[in-house]
């Protein structure tokens, strides 16, 4: 994203930590998403070209959610999807329209989930912490065009300068 990866992550609410960036979703340790440089496994920099997101699971022996992408905007979209799922699934609250998109007359608040059950879509495999569920990229789904348009607009809005008040 033109050397602005760290700025975008921070604008999306991710905080720098010793080894990457973290987005806290709740009070529990597993309620977070960690974004790393996929090549080094270390901290993301503006020179990073491959990203890895990790969301630890709450149950012992469960699967971590893992997403790999060459586009930092997919990491932001995963953060939005996880927050949306928490808002909708846990609290039963509505999700704001700008935090998703419409595909085939359906509002998609988590583009990383399947349409039928709303479960995270991917396949079991290995990850940095052992067992992992590797997420399927929304850019390779039936709603790819809608997802990419939403993701790009959402991230551009995060980086847009704030409108100055009129005198």
Mean pLDDT of 100-125: 78
How many Å is the Cα radius of gyration of the chain?
A: 16
- The pLDDT mean for the chain works out to 84
What does the DSSP 8-state code read for residue 129? T
Is the pLDDT at 47 greater than 70? The verdict is yes
The length of the chain is: 167
What's the pLDDT band for 115 if we cut at 50, 70, 90?
low
Domain boundaries, given as residue ranges, for the chain: 5-159
Instruction: Name the residue with higher pLDDT: 83 or 149.
Output: 149
Residue 162 predicted with pLDDT over 90 = no
For residue 142, what are the contacts with CB-CB under 8 A and spacing of at least 6?
103
Stretch 38-50: mean pLDDT: 92
**Nearest alpha-carbon partner for 132 in 119, 123, 140, 141:** 123
Compute the average pLDDT of residues 94-121. Answer: 80
pTM of this prediction?
0.86
């Amino acid at each position: 994203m033109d050397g602005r990866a760290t700025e975008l992550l921070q604008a999306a609410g991710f905080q720098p930590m010793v080894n990457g960036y973290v987005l806290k979703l709740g009070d529990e340790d597993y309620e977070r998403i960690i974004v790393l440089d996929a090549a080094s496994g270390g901290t993301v920099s503006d020179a990073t070209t491959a990203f890895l997101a990790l969301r630890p699971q709450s149950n012992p022996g469960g699967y971590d959610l893992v997403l790999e992408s060459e586009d930092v905007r997919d990491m932001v979209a995963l953060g939005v999807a996880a927050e949306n799922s928490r808002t909708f699934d846990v609290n039963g609250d509505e999700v704001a329209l700008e935090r998703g998109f419409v595909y085939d007359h359906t509002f998609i608040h988590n583009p990383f989930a399947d349409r039928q059950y709303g479960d995270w879509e991917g396949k079991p495999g290995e990850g940095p912490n052992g067992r992992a569920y590797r997420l399927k990229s929304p850019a390779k789904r039936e709603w790819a065009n809608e997802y990419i348009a939403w993701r790009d607009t959402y991230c551009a809005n995060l980086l847009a300068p704030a409108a100055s008040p009129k005198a």
